[in-house]
Amino acid sequence: MEQRRSVPALAWQLISFALFFGIWELAGRWPISLAFPPFSQTLLALFSMVADGSLAKAYLITLQPLVIGIALSSIVGIGFGIAMGLSRCVEWFTLPIMIVLQAAPMAAIIPLLTYVYGIGVTSKVLAVVVLASPVIVMNSYKGIRNANPSLIEMCRAFLGTRQQEIVKIILPHASALIFAGLRLGLAMGFIGIVIAELLITPTGIGDLITYNSSVADYPNMFAAIVSIIIFAALTIHALERLERKLFPPEIRGLEHAG
């Protein structure tokens, strides 16, 4: 059944991509703007950037603050979220801040980060943290809070301690939402690092975009943009599949008795 459904789905996806690239090609050849290269030229530019290694070099630089930032946000974010979920006191202090942070356009404070921390890696790492951590915190917090009260009661009835209740019921129950938070956090992290590399100092992929734009090499500029979109989309998609494999909905405890 799964296969019968996925084959036409794949066909539709391919048709949708073909249509999109076809329109892009036409729009580029027309052209709607001198700064808008057709799809074929962009693709060629992408191949040549892969071939001469400039793309790989750029990604090596870009990934550094991204990975450090995501690692930091994960540790701090999950820790904070769990503490908020378990302790009324921590919740009382931090929940309003977190709600504001999640709603605020955090990219706006990047100039402030530059002012305080300079134009080095630190500012870029912080840009990633600032964007990625609110959603990680909130998901961890919600995961803890959503623990099934009936399972907690069961644990108490069978003489579980508060510590066992947390380790054996609340955390396993929250793990799926926490993981989803990491995935969303990474998506925000991609936004953060690209903004940082465009706003703070052009390095890595941001440098490829700004440099090629300044010398009017639009196919190369678009190739860099397309590459980061593809890279982010594939990474997030892979995490999503891993998430579905690790936490299938029936094991998550989302379904109810019946």
Partner 1 sequence: MPADPIIEVKAVSKTYEGSVEALAGIDLALPQGMLSTLLGPSGCGKTTLLKIIAGLIPPSQGEIWVKGQKVDGPGPERAFVFQDFALLPWGSVLRNVAFGLELRGMAKDQREQIARKHIDEVGLKSFESSYPHQLSGGMRQRVGLARALTVDADIILMDEPFSSVDEQTRRKFQEELLDLLKHKKKTVIFVTHSIEEAVYLSDRIVLLSPRPGKVSQIIEPNIDRQDENPDEIRRDKNYLDTVDQIWQILKKYV
What residues make contact with partner 1 under the rule CB under 8 A? 150-151, 153-161, 164, 168-169, 172, 250-253, 255-258
H or E element at residue 84: helix 54-86
Q: Which is nearer to partner 1, 109 or 151 (CB)?
A: 151
Is residue 43 within 8 A of residue 28, CB to CB? The reply is no
In the complex with partner 1, which residue's Cβ is closer, 161 or 214?
161
CB of 78 to partner 1, least distance (A): 19
CA distance 5 to 218: 40
- CB of residue 162 vs partner 1: minimum separation in angstroms? 12
Q: What's the closest the beta carbon of residue 150 comes to partner 1, in angstroms?
A: 5
Comparison of 162 and 237: residue with beta carbon closer to partner 1: 162
**What is the C-alpha to C-alpha distance for residues 45 and 28, in angstroms, rounded to an integer?**
14
Comparing CA positions, the residue from 192, 191, 186 lying closest to residue 240 is 186
Q: How far is the CB of 177 from partner 1 (least distance, A)?
A: 14
What's the closest the beta carbon of residue 160 comes to partner 1, in angstroms? 4
Nearer to partner 1, 1 or 7 (CB): 1
* Ranges of H-type helices in 146-217: 149-157, 162-164, 171-199, 204-214
The contacts of residue 37 (CB under 8 Å, 6+ apart) are 28, 45, 218, 219, 222
With respect to partner 1, which residue has the nearer C-beta, 122 or 146?
A: 146
Give me the least distance between CB of 165 and partner 1, in Å please: 9
C-alpha dist (Å) from residue 166 to 89, 128, 145, 155, 177: 17, 30, 11, 10, 15
Residue 172 or 202 having the CB closest to partner 1: 172
